[in-house]
Homo-oligomer: A and B are copies of this chain.
C-alpha cells in the first residue's frame, strides 16, 4: 500500500552527489551552480518532498509561528489575522492558528508542549494576557496583539483614549443627554477590558466637562443580539438630541435602523458614534473609530520576526492611536 518514501539519500544517489550536498541545496548552503541545477532537477524528477519531522529533529527550523486567538466572529479580527499572515509569509514563515474555542482547548494548549515546541514564535491575539501567567511555558518569543503587557512585545490600542476622543467629539455638538451602549464579552478567554476602557475614557471626559453621566446612561446589550428595540427607542425619544456612543458598529447599526423607522435623522435629531470602522459604515455614513487593522497585523509580525531572528533584542510595546472617522451621524 504505502510505497517507500523517497528520501534525501535517493536523491543523492540519483544525482550522483552526497547527501550533504542535497541538504545544502535545500537549505541554501553554498553549492556550485551546475551541481545545484543537477540536484534540483533530480528532486523534481523523483518528486522528492523533504520530511518535516526528520528535518526538525535534526535541528532544522520549523519556520512556523503559533497564533493563539479567541473564537472570533468579527471581520475585524479575521482581517488582522490576514494581514499578519501576509506579512510573515514574506519571510517564509507559516502560521498555525490555534483558536481557543473551549476550555478544553485552552487546557490542551497549556499542558501539551508539542504545539509550542514546534514553533519559533507565538502570537497571542485579543486574549487576556493572563494566559502568560498560567503554566504557559514558552521559550520562543511572544507578541501580543490588541493587548498590553510588559512581559513581551505587544501592539495595542489605547481604548481609554478612544473613549475620550468620542466624548470630546460629541461635546462639540449640542447634546442634551449622553449614552453609551455596552456589552460584556461573549468569550471567556477575552476579558474584555477594551469596552470598559472606552466607557471609562468617555465618562471621565464628559464628567470633566461638567456633564452628567450616571449608570443609567449606560445601556447594556447582549453581545450578539444588540440592544433591544425598546432600549433604543427610549434613548432616542427620551430627550431631544441625545448623543450615543455604541461600543461596536453593529450596535450603532441597530440604532440607525430604529431611528429610520421612527423618522429621526442622525446628525440632526441625535448623534451617534460607533467603533471599529467596519466596511459597511462608510456607505451608512456612520461616524466611528478606526482601528488600524493592517498595521496591527503587520507590526505584530515585524516585532515577532525581529525577535525570532535576534532574541537578544529588547521587547517593544507599540501603541496605535484610535482615529476618529467623522461622517454624517455627528
Contact = CB atoms under 8 A, between A and B. Distances in A.
Given A260-B229, A261-B229, A261-B262, A82 B102 contact: yes
Q: How many copies does the complex hold?
A: 2
Interface in A123-154: 139
Interface stretch (A28-36, A52-60, A164-172, A201-209): A52-60
B85 A101 contact: yes
A108 interface: yes
A225 interface: yes
Interface in A50-77: 51-54, 56-57, 71-75
Task: Name which of A53, A104, A113, A254 has the most chain B CB atoms within 10 A of its CB.
Answer: A53
A105 interface: yes
A4 to B, nearest CB: 13
A181 interface: no
Contacts of A233: 261
Contact of A101 (B56, B81, B104, B257): B81
Task: Name which of A49, A81, A114 has the most chain B CB atoms within 10 A of its CB.
Answer: A114
Given A56-B53, A97-B98, A225 B257 contact: no
Contacts of A101: 78, 81-82, 85
A75 B73 contact: yes
A108 B75 CA distance: 22
A193 interface: no
Given A89-B104, A118-B52, A261-B233, A224 B75 contact: yes
A222 interface: yes
A257 B254 contact: yes
B97 A225 contact: no
Contact of A52 (B117, B222, B262, B278): B117
A16 interface: no
Nearest to A280: B225
A94 interface: yes
A18 interface: no
A321 interface: no
Nearest to A63: B114
Given A49-B117, A72-B73, A222-B280, 6 more contacts: A51-B57, A53-B57, A73-B74, A97-B99, A224-B280, A233-B261
